[in-house]
Amino acid sequence: MKRLANYQCFTLFMSVLMLCVAVRSQLTADFYSKTCPTLPQIVRKVVQNAIKVEMRMAASLLRLHFHDCFVNGCDGSILLDGTDVEKFSVANINSARGFEVVDAIKSAVESQCSGVVSCADILALAARDSTLLSGGPSWKVLLGRRDGMVSSQAQANLSLPSPFEGLNAIIAKFAAVGLNITDVVSLSGSHTIGLAKCATFSNRLFNFSGTGAPDSTLDSNMLSDLQSLCPVNGDGNKTTAFDRNSTDLFDNHYFQNLINNKGLLGSDQILYSSSEAVSTTKSIVESYSSNSKLFFNDFANSMIKMGNISPLTGSSGEIRKNCRVVNS
Ligand code: HEM
Ligand SMILES: *[C@@H]1O[C@H](CO)[C@@H](O)[C@H](O)[C@H]1NC(C)=O
Ligand SMILES: *[C@@H]1O[C@H](CO)[C@@H](O)[C@H](O)[C@H]1NC(C)=O
Ligand SMILES: *[C@@H]1O[C@H](CO)[C@@H](O)[C@H](O)[C@H]1NC(C)=O
Ligand SMILES: *[C@@H]1O[C@H](CO)[C@@H](O)[C@H](O)[C@H]1NC(C)=O
Ligand SMILES: *[C@@H]1O[C@H](CO)[C@@H](O)[C@H](O)[C@H]1NC(C)=O
């Protein structure tokens, strides 16, 4: 009898302890309200200036947060310099950009509140501001992430989705980080802003999957435009807009484009046109194409979910002084 009581007491103790740990490890919107009250304004200002210089920077900063979160969680690991690091993985090399802007945000933040704000949180705030300043939705960014000590190119190669993958493979990569089919579609709506290189979609233009013909789910006018922009053996680094009608505006045209066979990447168009899409993503694309409010609302929720992928909290990780290097 006595033993059982002790055991129950121990169980209760452990439950309370685990509850405390669970609560402690949650991100919160007001995490820096005492230690860096002006943080949101500092980040907003630097992002605003960067976008004034180059509107595409909004897209580039949004993508950095995504690529950070999908590899070992949202821990700033994409920012680390080195040799076998994430920024040189397949999806990022000669492609991920905005690192100088993140440095500028970090130094502005350090000058106001030194040593308290993580680089991972800066990416989350910059992604929200980039979306909002492009005309998209806003949301309360949850904060309190700490910075990781490692950056794994091998993990980035495995975790980040490729434009050449099938829909089931992409859905699986999202599921691996706790994101579902709604998140796949809403977050892909990010491709309403920004640019992509010929090398990321030229597989669709001449001999798609060894068929000897272009991808039949690509609109014929858009096909001929893209064929002249990206000829066989042309410059794979040449870029074009995802959303040709409103390149810099965050809107729901991305989904309208998919319905008109005007998706740019293979991984975009399959959300609507593939056989796997029929029972998964197609109906969500249709909903967003006709309901911009629904898209904005779901996008904001999915960004918060993505920002919650395996954060380091409490005393895990560190607050980096320089986003490019682990503190010594
Ligand atoms: C669903 C799987 C996805 C694939 C396969 C994919 C792939 C790509 C590729 C190949 C590019 C062009 C990169 C280049 O040419 O340099 C790109 C750009 C971009 N991606 Fe994605 N992406 C996906 C999902 C996402 C998500 C979830 C987000 C954000 C939450 C996102 C945000 C962006 C943005 C904003 C750009 C433009 C970047 C710029 O102009 O600098 N993408 N993506
Ligand atoms: C990542 O992928 C690229 C391209 O396939 C390859 O060259 C590189 O060695 C890979 N890196 C690691 C660490 O696996
Ligand atoms: C995806 O998850 C969200 C909650 O995070 C939920 O509202 C939504 O219904 C889910 N979608 C699917 C297709 O299960
Ligand atoms: C298309 O690619 C396939 C496989 O790579 C190849 O066998 C075929 O000859 C190519 N067709 C044309 C028309 O180039
Ligand atoms: C793009 O440019 C980089 C650096 O100039 C080069 O290393 C790379 O091979 C080019 N990529 C393509 C697809 O042409
Ligand atoms: C852009 O707008 C025009 C006219 O409204 C429309 O016909 C076209 O399908 C839209 N999309 C693209 C990618 O051009």
Establish whether residue 203 lines the binding site of ligand 1, counting it when its CB lies within 6 angstroms of any ligand atom. Answer: no
Distance CA 87, CA 155 (A): 11
Helix, strand or coil, per DSSP, at residue 294: helix
Helix, strand or coil, per DSSP, at residue 203: helix
Helix, strand or coil, per DSSP, at residue 236: coil
pLDDT of residue 328: 86
Q: Which residues of the chain have pLDDT under 70?
A: 1-25
Establish whether residue 252 lines the binding site of ligand 2, counting it when its CB lies within 6 angstroms of any ligand atom. Answer: no
Q: Ligand 4: which of 203, 204, 207, 208 to mutate, judged by most atoms within 8 Å of the beta carbon? A: 207
Q: Ligand 6: which of 191, 260, 265, 269 to mutate, judged by most atoms within 8 Å of the beta carbon? A: 260
CATH number, domain with residue 103 = 1.10.520.10
Same domain, 213 and 235: yes
Question: How is residue 141 annotated by DSSP?
Answer: P
pLDDT of residue 293: 98
- Segments forming the whole domain that contains residue 100: 39-160
Same domain, 154 and 187: no
Name the nearest CA neighbour of 199 among 250, 266, 147, 152: 266
Name the nearest CA neighbour of 106 among 158, 157, 159, 64: 64
Same domain, 60 and 171: no
pLDDT of residue 88: 98
Residue 90 belongs to a domain:
yes
Choose, from 65, 67, 191, 253, the residue flagged as catalytic.
67
Name the nearest CA neighbour of 197 among 80, 56, 83: 56
Name the nearest CA neighbour of 288 among 299, 278, 302: 299
Residue 67 appears among annotated catalytic residues: yes
pLDDT of residue 15: 52
Same domain, 63 and 140: yes
Same domain, 152 and 181: no
pLDDT of residue 77: 98
Establish whether residue 187 lines the binding site of ligand 3, counting it when its CB lies within 6 angstroms of any ligand atom. Answer: no
Residue 9 belongs to a domain:
no
Establish whether residue 105 lines the binding site of ligand 1, counting it when its CB lies within 6 angstroms of any ligand atom. Answer: no
